[in-house]
Amino acid sequence: MKVLVATEKPFAKAAVDGIRQIVESAGFELALLEKYTDVNDFYKAVADADALIVRSDKVTKEVIEHAKNLKIVVRAGAGFDNLDLAACTEHKIVAMNTPGQNSNAVAELAAGLMVFMNRNMFNPGTGSELKGKKLGIHAYGNVGRNVARVAKGLGMDIYAFDAFCPKEVIEKDGVKAVASVEELYSTCHVVSLHIPATKETVDSINYDLVNRMPKGAMLVNTARKEVIHEADMVRLLNDRPDFRYVTDIKPGNHDELAEKFPTRYFSTPKKMGAETAEANINAGLAAANQIVDFIKNGVTKFQVNK
Ligand code: 3PG
């Protein structure tokens, strides 16, 4: 039984060591494909794999078609928009994620980006504080909850909108649940995005929505670039000298934004929300355990293509 870890952006060594230990203790073999730049290398490596662990690596129809023995693919992380679920289902491959395992790392980065922007990107000059500012958490899942916990420590006034999470669950954390996404943006100085990229959310963060935000607005994206309407971000930054946009996922129009709005737009060079040893260990080991549990005991908890 061969388990392939295919990670263009590799896990920390401690995570790989942990994965190896779990896989080999189960009597399986581990294969590693790290930092690959040619998709053909992925096709070759997956050809005889029974199980696959990836991060944001695109598991396309073509990858699936090369994977003749594949029974399970686990996205070590939360968002599974990189997996072609229809192709997995068609080839009777179980697809899973590891929800919650890297959410604290992403939440800490979201808070860090807020501070960074409020302090002039660490350039000299007068900044502002987060204490007392209204924070809107757009989607109250694992990351959103962690952002609320961290923001509480910063003394922020916290609001959240989640179409699927009951109001009582949000309010139990001392967070104000608002009734609509429009209300969230109209109320909050800072909005932190934690929605997945789906048919419904792609391009949904648009001019009309974000323009509702009060003066001194900041949009923080540690979710997915696809949810942002990119042309609308240019318009917003043009029309509102008070508006700032910070993202952990470089947009398609990064060069234009960086050139036109160097003090109000910032993108990390490469998505780093989950780039901590702790998150790598949590998500990587969970993925390996889920594979062993599925192959040995048929456990399909966390399956996302049911
Ligand atoms: C996730 O969906 O889990 C995060 O976006 C992390 O993605 P990464 O594994 O590519 O860092």
Question: Is the sign of the CA dihedral 183, 188, 193, 194 positive or negative?
Answer: negative
Residue 302 in any domain: the answer is: no
Any atom of ligand 1 within 6 Å of the Cβ of 136: no
How far apart are the CA of 79 and the centre of ligand 1, in A?
A: 7
Determine how β-strand 134-138 pairs with β-strand 29-34: unpaired
Q: Which atom of ligand 1 is nearest to the CA of 101?
A: 3
How far apart are the CA of 254 and the centre of ligand 1, in A?
A: 20
CB 226 within 8 A of CB 197: yes
The span from the CA of 290 to the CA of 73, in Å, is: 10
125 shares a domain with 96: no
> 266 forms bridges with which residues in the sheet?
246
Question: Is the sign of the CA dihedral 67, 69, 72, 77 positive or negative?
Answer: negative
Residue 305 in any domain: the answer is: no
Closest residue by CA, ligand 1 atom 9: 55
Residue 192 in any domain: the answer is: yes
Any atom of ligand 1 within 6 Å of the Cβ of 55: yes
181 shares a domain with 142: yes
200 shares a domain with 182: yes
How far apart are the CA of 30 and the centre of ligand 1, in A?
A: 22
Residue ranges of the chain whose pLDDT lies below 70: none
Residue for token pair 């690959």: 36
How far apart are the CA of 238 and the centre of ligand 1, in A?
A: 30
Query: What total of structural domains would you count in the chain?
Result: 2
Residue 212 in any domain: the answer is: yes
CATH code of residue 23? 3.40.50.720
292 shares a domain with 252: no
Choosing from 53, 97, 271, 276 the residue with most ligand 1 atoms within 8 A of its CB, the one to mutate for a pocket test is: 271
- The per-residue pLDDT for 58 is 98
- The per-residue pLDDT for 114 is 98
Residue 150 in any domain: the answer is: yes
How far apart are the CA of 242 and the centre of ligand 1, in A?
A: 30
Any atom of ligand 1 within 6 Å of the Cβ of 56: yes
54 shares a domain with 134: no
Domain housing 175: 103-267
- DSSP assignment string, 73-135: EEESSS--TTB-HHHHHHTT-EEEE-TTTTHHHHHHHHHHHHHHHHTGGG-SS-----TT-EE
Any atom of ligand 1 within 6 Å of the Cβ of 99: no
How far apart are the CA of 126 and the centre of ligand 1, in A?
A: 34
> 79 forms bridges with which residues in the sheet?
none
Any atom of ligand 1 within 6 Å of the Cβ of 271: yes
Any atom of ligand 1 within 6 Å of the Cβ of 224: no
Residue for token pair 């509102």: 240
User: Can you give the pTM of this predicted structure?
Assistant: 0.97
256 shares a domain with 158: yes
255 shares a domain with 135: yes
151 shares a domain with 90: no
Any atom of ligand 1 within 6 Å of the Cβ of 78: yes
Q: Which atom of ligand 1 is nearest to the CA of 77?
A: 3
- The closest of 233, 147, 142 to 190, measured between CA atoms, is 147
- The closest of 250, 298, 286 to 74, measured between CA atoms, is 286
User: What is residue 225's DSSP assignment?
Assistant: G
Any atom of ligand 1 within 6 Å of the Cβ of 195: no
83 shares a domain with 225: no
The span from the CA of 228 to the CA of 133, in Å, is: 23
Residue 304 in any domain: the answer is: no
At 95, give phi and psi (nearest 5°): -110, 135
131 shares a domain with 21: no
111 shares a domain with 259: yes
115 shares a domain with 87: no
User: What is residue 246's DSSP assignment?
Assistant: E
Any atom of ligand 1 within 6 Å of the Cβ of 197: no
- The per-residue pLDDT for 106 is 98
Tokens read off for 136: 């809107």
Q: Report the helix count and the strand count for the chain, using DSSP H and E.
A: 12, 12
- The per-residue pLDDT for 306 is 87
